[in-house]
Amino acid sequence: MGRRRDEDCLYLNIYTPTLDKKAKLDVVVHIYGGAFMFLYGGFFGPDFIMDRDVVFINFNYRLGPLGFLSTEDEVVPGNNGIEDQIMALRWIKTNVQYFGGNSDSITLTGMSAGGASVHIHYLSPKSRGLFHRGISQSGTSLCAWSLMEKPLEKTQKIAFKLGCFSNITEHMINCLRQRPARQIVAAVKELQPWLYNPVVVFGPVVDSWSSNPVLPDHPLNLMKKGQVSDLPWIVSVTDFEGLYPAVDFVQNGYLKEIDARWNELMPFILDYNDTVDSTLLDEVSEKIRKHYLHDQKLDQSNFVDFVQIFSDRFLLLDIHKSAKLQASVVKSPVYFYLFSYLGAHYWYENLAERQDDYGASHSEDTSFILKTPDSDSTSTEEDRRMIEIFVEIFTSFAKTG
C-alpha cells in the first residue's frame, strides 16, 4: 500500500512461452484483489503457472475514487475500474493471438475483489463473449463489500473536503477534475472514521442510471432472473477467511479498544454503518457481540470467535449463496472448494503476538498458484507438491472447464 501510485496505470503484463499464432494456447487472465482500493497487477507473478503451456496475463485498473467514484447519474455513472477491466479483456480477445494465445479459450481468475470482479463479468452485458470460464477465489458479487453504498454521498464528502461541493453534479465534477489525483485519493480518509475502516470505501455500483450500464440491476436480481453468462465457474473460500483483517488488530494491540468501543467501532469495521438504520446500529452491534462472543470481553481467549465474525460478514455466507444460486440457473458446472492447507510459511505468521496456526487465511490459496512478494510457498517439498496440485487444477480447468 506504500507504493507510488499513478493514474496512468492501464497496462497489461503478458507472459507467453511462444509468439507463434498457430500455438493457440489457453489464456489465463488474472484480476488482482485489494478491496478495489490498492495493489496492482504485477504483484502476482506467473512463476508457478508458466510451467504449463498457457499464456498468462494480468493488468492494472483504476482504484479507489479514481476508479469507482459515482454521482449516480450520467455525469459520472461509476464503475470506471470495471470498465478498465472490460477494455483490457476486449484488447486481449483481439490481440492475444499475436502472443500465442487462443482467443476462444480465455479463463478469468481473481481473488477477493478480483474474484468479485470475475463474477461481475458473468453478470455484465458488456462482458459477454470476452471470456469462457472463471475462477473466483474468496470473493463474489454478492459479498457485503462488493457494491458501494451511498456513492453520491461519498462523492459529495470528497468534494466538500477539496472545496468542490455543489448540488449540481456537473459543476462538482468539473471542480474535482482540477484537483490533483493525490489530493482526491488522500481525501478518502474522511470516509474512514477509525484506522482504515471501512476497508472498501469505493467500489462497483449498480449503474442503472447509465445509458450503457455495467450492472443494470443488483447482482442478486440478475442471478435470480438467470441473466448470468452460462459458463463454467469455480468459486472458493478458505477455512479461516476472517484472519484478514482480524490479525491486524491483534498485532497492533487494538482488541482492548475494540472491546471498549464495540458499539461505536463495529459498524465501521464490519461496514454496516450505511446498511443499518442509524437508530438500530447499537442493537445490531450488541446482537453480534452476544451471538459470537456470548457477551464476553474481547481478548485473545476468544479471538477465534472474533475471526468468525469477519469470515461470516465479509465472505462465507454470501459466497455460498452465490455458488448455490448460480448453479440453480445455469447449465454449466459450478465447482466449489474449501481450502484449509497451511503451508510452512503464511502471511500472518509474523503478525500475531503469539504464534498460533489458526488455519488458512484469506488469500492463502492464491499463493500456491501465483507468486507474491510477501509469501514463500516453495520452502518445503509438501508446499511444492501443493503448488503442483493447484496449478494442475487451474490449468486443466482453463483447458477444458
pLDDT of residue 40: 87
Res. 249: pLDDT tops 90 = no
Res. 338: pLDDT tops 90 = yes
Res. 350: pLDDT tops 90 = no
Angle at 122 between CA 118 and CA 125, to 5 degrees: 125
- Distance between CA atoms of residues 306 and 292, nearest Å: 7
- Distance between CA atoms of residues 360 and 161, nearest Å: 40
309: phi then psi, degrees, rounded to nearest 5: -60, -50
Active site residue 72: no
- Distance between CA atoms of residues 311 and 290, nearest Å: 17
Q: Which of 119, 121, 132, 362 is catalytic?
A: 362
Res. 8: pLDDT tops 90 = no
30: phi then psi, degrees, rounded to nearest 5: -105, 130
3-state secondary structure the chain: CCCCCCCCCCCEEEECCCCCCCCCEEEEEEECCCCCCCCCHHHCECCCHHHCCEEEEEECCCCHHHHHCCCCCCCCCCCHHHHHHHHHHHHHHHHHHHHCEEEEEEEEEEECHHHHHHHHHHHCHHHCCCCCEEEEECCCCCCCCCCCCCHHHHHHHHHHHCCCCCCCHHHHHHHHCCCCHHHHHHHHHHHCCECCECCCCCCCCCCCCCCCCCCCCCHHHHHHCCCCCCCCEEEEEECECCHHHHHHHHHCCCHHHHHHCHHHHHHHHCCCCCCCCHHHHHHHHHHHHHHHHCCCCCCHHHHHHHHHHHHHHHHHHHHHHHHHHHHHHCCCCEEEEEECCCCCCCCCCCCCCCCCCCCCECCCHHHHCCECCCCCCCCCHHHHHHHHHHHHHHHHHHHHC
Residue that wins the pLDDT comparison between 377 and 229:
229
Joined together, the cell numbers standing for residue 241 give 477467511
- Distance between CA atoms of residues 348 and 277, nearest Å: 35
Q: Which of 119, 241, 364, 377 is catalytic?
A: 241
CA atoms within 13 A on the CB side of 342: 13
Q: Which of 70, 112, 124, 136 is catalytic?
A: 112
* Residue pointed to by grid coordinates 498460533: 356
- Given pLDDT bands bounded at 50, 70 and 90, which one contains residue 242? very high
Active site residue 218: no
pLDDT of residue 360: 87
- Distance between CA atoms of residues 31 and 40, nearest Å: 9
- Given pLDDT bands bounded at 50, 70 and 90, which one contains residue 2? very low
Strands 334-339 vs 233-238: parallel, antiparallel or unpaired: parallel
Q: Is the pTM of this model over 0.85?
A: yes
- Given pLDDT bands bounded at 50, 70 and 90, which one contains residue 4? low
| Contact (Cβ atoms closer than 8 angstroms) between residue 218 and residue 82 | no
Q: What would the pLDDT profile of 358-376 be if each residue is shown by its tens digit?
A: 788 898 899 888 888 777 7
Res. 204: pLDDT tops 70 = yes
pLDDT of residue 377: 73
Using omega within 30 degrees of 0 as the cis cutoff, is the peptide bond preceding 180 cis?
no
Q: What would the pLDDT profile of 36-51 be if each residue is shown by its tens digit?
A: 999 888 888 898 998 8
Res. 233: pLDDT tops 90 = yes
| Contact (Cβ atoms closer than 8 angstroms) between residue 226 and residue 328 | no
Res. 151: pLDDT tops 90 = yes
Q: Which residues pair with 234 in a beta bridge?
A: 135, 335
- Distance between CA atoms of residues 159 and 302, nearest Å: 42
Mean pLDDT of the chain: 92
Active site residue 112: yes
- Distance between CA atoms of residues 368 and 100, nearest Å: 25
* Residue pointed to by grid coordinates 468468525: 308
Q: What would the pLDDT profile of 50-103 be if each residue is shown by its tens digit?
A: 889 999 999 999 999 999 999 999 999 999 999 999 999 999 999 999 999 999
